[in-house]
Amino acid sequence: MFRQVKRKTAGRRNFEDVSSSSSGDKKGGADLISQLNNIYQSRLTFYDIPPLEEITLEEFENWSIDRLKLLIEIESYGARSKSIKDIEVALRPLLLKYLPMNGNSSDGKINPTLYQERKKDHYSHFILRLVFCRSEELRKKFIKNEGILFRIRYNLLTPKEQEDFLMSNSHRLHWKFISQEEKLANFDQLYNASNLIIKNHLLQEGIGSEITNEQVKQHIKFKENFIKLPFEKVTNLINSRSIFLKGGYAYIPTSLQLNLIVTEFQDNLNTILLRTFQTLPRLEEDDRILPLLNNLGLNFSNIQYDTNNFGSDDTNDINAQSIQTPEILQHYPLCARILQKQLSFNSHLKYGGRQQLGLFLKGIGLNVDEALKFWSQQFLKKINQEKFNKEYKYNIRHNYGLEGARINYKPWDCATILAKAKPSKDEYHGCPYRDLSVNNLISNLNELGIEDQHQINEIMDDVDKRDYSIACTRVFELTHQKELKASSGAVAESMHINHPNLYFDRSRQLERSMEKKKEISV
């Protein structure tokens, strides 16, 4: 699957195996390639066939990162108890951005763009298997989130595509659709057992705001496609008494069929991940892939925020004065707010706080001259200019890559902040969701306007579980409810907060999208 570099891979078994399957055994290779073409016919797959073509290391990394971004969003939405429907709505724009999967063209053919989309999906799934097979905890997360992704994508298929997908996987699903005659012969029992489930499903599909029993009956009679399965395959459904049982068979309505497909997908993935884990040592002989895999694993809750767009037009209004105004401060995450507050109060911050806040400000677009102005304004309330120049100026210029090794330092992401030593007395760096006392955190949440006890309890639950970035994302949602509602997907960016500057950027982005809407409506 990886483009080979002879110097590094010569003689390695893992690469020899791949090449022998693709060139040594020509017939076997041709069969696999034709199977690959077949699986790319559908935009949904059980990922049974491994990738065979070579890709570059850049594709290897970029494709897997894009998929990882989606899985992180799903994980974050799940941790905030969002329904599948909510996740689906939120994920659609992200799917288009990171992993688009358009339907076949009208003649049913796969053009090069569609082929490339499906290839990216296929390869990125397999790469992440290598990352997530390594521990039970990672496997569970991967299986759960890939299962949700699979479910969402199934719902995005047209009815015809869903039917084709089921047909092409009939060997695995062993589903038997019942005939119209059998349905009518058992109509009363089917209705009594499944009418509530079917009604809820129709409501969720937006078929109406109210659905009468008569409408459900008509739907069952003319549209519902029941399958029947040996009952031991669906014992979990039998416990809920929501399906009809007869002669050792369970009769499953359409709305529950997706649960079965997803369960099949997840069970299959679980088995394969365990198998992948056993073969992993062979792959780890490759010194180009291993660091990438390790990095991707570490980054599950920490995809690097793209800091390449510093100093764009969007940051023209950032200067030493404006960053002290409520208009700008309102966009700060709690960690930066607390640092700014303590800096104003004490006219001083210790080293950790200066670094964290200084790099955050650099990230929001404060240039080095304005940074020197800002910090000196704060510090000169207590010390003179000479002392400031001697003790602090160098360090500020150093952060901007103008002194010492001239490294252009990036703002710290949440993982870096959380990896630093906790703040001791009179220090204010760190993440408040981890470092503040319960009372202090609650009073800070109150200052942000979060006073509802239920909402506070949810945030404190995240904190108890050490899901600090999820607590922060929840706070972002609660404090931007109006804007998020108004934007309704217009801001097609990931919402999980794993970087203070991401919090700031998303907040401003939402504000701007509100302003634009107002301008248009005037």
The residue ranges that bind ligand SF4 (CB under 6 A) are 333-335, 414, 417, 431-433, 468-469, 472, 497, 500, 503
Enumerate the β-bridge partners of residue 251.
228, 244
Q: Decide whether 352 or 432 has the Cβ nearer to ligand SF4.
A: 432
> How distant, in Å, are the alpha carbons of 342, 345, 468 from that of 338?
6, 10, 16
Q: Decide whether 40 or 428 has the Cβ nearer to ligand SF4.
A: 428
Q: Decide whether 51 or 432 has the Cβ nearer to ligand SF4.
A: 432
Q: Is 48 helix (H, G, I), strand (E, B) or coil?
A: coil
CB of 418 to ligand SF4, least distance (A): 7
CB of 364 to ligand SF4, least distance (A): 13
CB of 141 to ligand SF4, least distance (A): 19
Beta carbons of 32 and 49 less than 8 angstroms apart = yes
CB of 503 to ligand SF4, least distance (A): 5
Q: Cα separation of 57 and 75, whole Å?
A: 26
- List the Cα angle 500/59/278 in 5-degree steps: 90
Host H or E run for residue 177: strand 176-177
Characterize 314-324 residue by residue with b for buried, 16 or more Cβ atoms within 10 angstroms of its Cβ, and e for exposed: ebeebbbeebe
Q: Decide whether 95 or 335 has the Cβ nearer to ligand SF4.
A: 335
Beta carbons of 381 and 348 less than 8 angstroms apart = no
Q: Decide whether 253 or 423 has the Cβ nearer to ligand SF4.
A: 423
- List the Cα angle 417/421/427 in 5-degree steps: 85
CB of 409 to ligand SF4, least distance (A): 17
> How distant, in Å, are the alpha carbons of 181, 291, 372, 392 from that of 410?
68, 21, 17, 19
CB of 498 to ligand SF4, least distance (A): 7
Query: Both ends of the chain: CA-CA distance in Å?
Result: 55
Q: Is 230 helix (H, G, I), strand (E, B) or coil?
A: strand
Q: Decide whether 18 or 338 has the Cβ nearer to ligand SF4.
A: 338
CB of 509 to ligand SF4, least distance (A): 16
471, 477, 513: which is closest to 492 by C-alpha?
513
CB of 462 to ligand SF4, least distance (A): 10
Q: Decide whether 125 or 499 has the Cβ nearer to ligand SF4.
A: 499
- Edge-first strand order for the sheet with 244-246 is 176-177, 227-230, 249-252, 244-246
Q: Decide whether 76 or 255 has the Cβ nearer to ligand SF4.
A: 76
Beta carbons of 145 and 78 less than 8 angstroms apart = yes
Q: Decide whether 318 or 335 has the Cβ nearer to ligand SF4.
A: 335
Beta carbons of 415 and 498 less than 8 angstroms apart = yes
CB of 249 to ligand SF4, least distance (A): 51
